[in-house]
């Protein structure tokens, strides 16, 4: 496993020093990843800069190569998915989904029609708005979806004509390196450079003079550092940050019908999804019943090593996250919450935590107010819809939300009152698609990814005017 190298200028960069990569199912080091030096980062930026000169000039070629990349990702899924399981922890079936989603994003951007924006075309003159690529862009990604979230950046950035230097999380560097090795066979040298290293490498990237944009996905705290650092030379930023996403269950919802959707909205990927349900507000008339159905599902779900075919929920990715989740559950229990399911880690050396449902708690308890990013769902009872909406909005975060009801129109009217980038009705994360804008309000982010909006975020407008059509 130690033979994965950084991809700089289309070739394998020599490894001078390395850092440990841990398998979250065992808590043991299982591989080493290359630690990028400042000189290697300069080399990656210079390679991207050189490649930009020709890459941005041939859109047809870019679309063809994105399609080839989509096919290559699909063709190599079976080889690469187990590596993702070993460094990230997720079940193998979900690791495969990351690759199929990455292939979908590549195909979407290869095939996206970008209409011309002609504002004037008459006897008096001509005016058209063009989108110019930015040049070299940098991407920094987190550990929860290393492949699909990297592709939310790679596909639109390259389609728009930019070249890229991408740094994955130090917890999950290996699959992204393997992706880089695969794609270096397709893209010209220097178009996509993957560098790995610890967090200070992220700071070196945001402070580097070459990239004109930083596209960042990660925590709100780091996002603020990125924005501050980028401001010094006015780099553009897109920030996809943390969330504390509310679900509101109205009094007319049927607990048995909504249970599965609500449960997986909170517990998929062990709850390590920025847009997972992180707190659920349930009308007091059905709250006990909703707690019971969620607790029953939590008790039945199979947790374990993601490589086992029976596993539905894998471990938390790393010790820091495991410790945070443990602390938040202990704090809630200490503050009087009832542990309706789970409540503790599974014995063993890895980072497995039992799916946990908490009830009899309120806003003001840490697990309700903070982003737990783990397999823990606090269920909070409310009396009036106005109260539920106010409490859902009473957060620094505003990523996504969902409303559950037997009357979808009623639910949608409640949804429109929520201060979030997306709202799903009778589902959670229903809007996570290549074609729809994804981004957060308030502290959940700046800007959006995906769709034509995501493509536009990797460009700047240029107006051409003249006496006649160009």
**Is 180 one of the binding residues for ligand NAD (CB under 6 A)?**
no
Min dist. Cβ of residue 352 to ligand NAD (A): 19
Cβ contact 295:258 at 8 Å: no
> 55 vs 351, which CB is nearer to ligand NAD?
351
Selection from 184, 201, 211 nearest residue 46 by Cα: 211
> 152 vs 187, which CB is nearer to ligand NAD?
152
> 166 vs 258, which CB is nearer to ligand NAD?
166
Cβ contact 76:102 at 8 Å: no
Min dist. Cβ of residue 342 to ligand NAD (A): 21
**Is 342 one of the binding residues for ligand NAD (CB under 6 A)?**
no
Residue number closest to ligand NAD, CB atom: 202
> 18 vs 219, which CB is nearer to ligand NAD?
219
Q: What's the full length of the chain, in residues?
A: 470
Contacts of 284 (CB under 8 A, 6+ apart): 381, 382, 383
**Is 42 one of the binding residues for ligand NAD (CB under 6 A)?**
no
Show which residues are catalytic. Answer: 240, 274
Q: Which of 445, 448, 451, 454 binds ligand NAD (CB under 6 A)?
A: 445
**Is 219 one of the binding residues for ligand NAD (CB under 6 A)?**
yes
CA-angle at 469, arms to 466 and 470, nearest 5°: 90
Q: Which of 94, 217, 372, 402 binds ligand NAD (CB under 6 A)?
A: 217
Q: Which of 91, 218, 398, 454 binds ligand NAD (CB under 6 A)?
A: 218
Selection from 389, 398, 358, 371 nearest residue 144 by Cα: 371
| C-alpha span between 350 and 25 (Å, rounded) | 5
Selection from 166, 148, 130 nearest residue 56 by Cα: 130
**Is 243 one of the binding residues for ligand NAD (CB under 6 A)?**
yes
| C-alpha span between 109 and 127 (Å, rounded) | 26
> 52 vs 373, which CB is nearer to ligand NAD?
373
Radius of gyration of the chain (CA): 23
Min dist. Cβ of residue 317 to ligand NAD (A): 8
> 343 vs 445, which CB is nearer to ligand NAD?
445
Size of the site for ligand NAD (CB under 6 A): 29
**Is 225 one of the binding residues for ligand NAD (CB under 6 A)?**
yes
Contacts of 400 (CB under 8 A, 6+ apart): 243, 245, 275, 420, 421, 422, 423, 424, 428, 429, 431, 440
Q: Would you list the DSSP string of 239-281? A: EE----EEEEE-TT--HHHHHHHHHHHHHGGGG--TTSEEEEE
Cβ contact 378:282 at 8 Å: no
Considering only residues 137 through 156, tell me which ones interact with ligand NAD, judged by CB under 6 A.
Answer: 140-144, 149
| C-alpha span between 224 and 192 (Å, rounded) | 26
> 172 vs 381, which CB is nearer to ligand NAD?
172
| C-alpha span between 234 and 245 (Å, rounded) | 31
Binding track over 381-420 against ligand NAD, x by CB under 6 A: ------------------x---------------------
Select the span of 1-9, 16-24, 109-117, 163-171 touching ligand NAD (CB under 6 A).
Answer: 163-171
Q: Which of 135, 180, 242, 437 binds ligand NAD (CB under 6 A)?
A: 242
**Is 373 one of the binding residues for ligand NAD (CB under 6 A)?**
yes
Selection from 136, 133, 139, 135 nearest residue 180 by Cα: 139
Q: Which residues bind ligand NAD (CB under 6 A)?
A: 140-144, 149, 167, 169-170, 199, 202-203, 206, 217-219, 222, 225-226, 240-243, 274, 371, 373, 399, 440, 445
């Amino acid at each position: 496993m130690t033979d994965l190298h950084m991809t700089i200028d289309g070739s394998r960069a020599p490894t001078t020093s390395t850092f440990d990569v841990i398998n979250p199912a065992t808590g043991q080091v299982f591989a080493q990843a290359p630690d990028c030096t400042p000189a290697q980062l300069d080399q990656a930026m210079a390679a991207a800069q050189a490649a930009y000169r020709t890459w941005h000039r041939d859109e047809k070629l870019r679309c063809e190569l994105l399609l080839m990349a989509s096919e290559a990702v699909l063709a190599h899924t079976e080889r690469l998915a187990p590596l993702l399981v070993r460094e990230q922890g997720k079940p193998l079936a979900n690791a495969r989904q990351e690759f199929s989603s990455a292939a979908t994003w590549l195909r979407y951007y290869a095939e996206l029609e970008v209409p011309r924006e002609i504002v004037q075309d008459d006897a008096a003159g001509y005016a058209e708005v063009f989108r110019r690529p930015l040049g070299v862009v940098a991407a920094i990604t987190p550990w929860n979806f290393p492949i699909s979230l990297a592709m939310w950046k790679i596909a639109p950035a390259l389609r728009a004509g930019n070249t890229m230097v991408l740094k994955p999380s130090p917890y999950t560097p290996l699959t992204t390196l393997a992706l880089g090795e695969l794609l270096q066979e397709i893209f010209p040298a220097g178009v996509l450079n993957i560098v790995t290293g610890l967090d200070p490498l992220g700071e070196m990237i945001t402070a580097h003079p070459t990239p004109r944009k930083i596209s960042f996905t990660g925590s709100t705290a780091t996002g603020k550092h990125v924005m501050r650092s980028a401001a010094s030379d006015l780099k553009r930023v897109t920030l996809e940050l943390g969330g504390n996403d509310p679900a509101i269950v109205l009094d007319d919802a049927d607990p048995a019908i909504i249970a599965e959707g609500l449960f997986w909205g909170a517990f998929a990927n062990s709850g390590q999804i920025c847009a997972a349900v992180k707190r659920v507000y349930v009308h007091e008339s059905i709250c006990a019943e909703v707690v019971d159905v969620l607790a029953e599902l939590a008790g039945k779900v199979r947790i374990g090593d993601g490589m086992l075919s029976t596993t539905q929920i894998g471990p938390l990715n790393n010790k820091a996250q495991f410790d945070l989740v443990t602390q938040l559950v202990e704090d809630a229990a200490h503050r009087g919450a009832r542990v309706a399911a789970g409540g503790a880690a599974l014995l063993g050396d890895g980072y497995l935590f039992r799916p946990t449902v908490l009830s009899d708690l309120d806003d003001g308890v840490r697990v309700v107010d903070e982003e737990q990013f783990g397999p823990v769902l606090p269920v909070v009872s409310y009396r009036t819809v106005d109260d539920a909406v106010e409490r859902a909005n009473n957060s620094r975060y505003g990523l996504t939300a969902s409303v559950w009801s037997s009357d979808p129109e009623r639910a949608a009217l409640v949804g429109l009152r929520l201060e979030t980038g997306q709202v799903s009705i009778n589902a959670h994360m229903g809007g996570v698609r290549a074609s729809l804008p994804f981004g957060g309000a308030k502290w959940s982010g700046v800007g959006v990814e995906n769709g034509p909006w995501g493509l536009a975020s990797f460009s700047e407008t240029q107006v051409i005017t003249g006496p006649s059509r160009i």
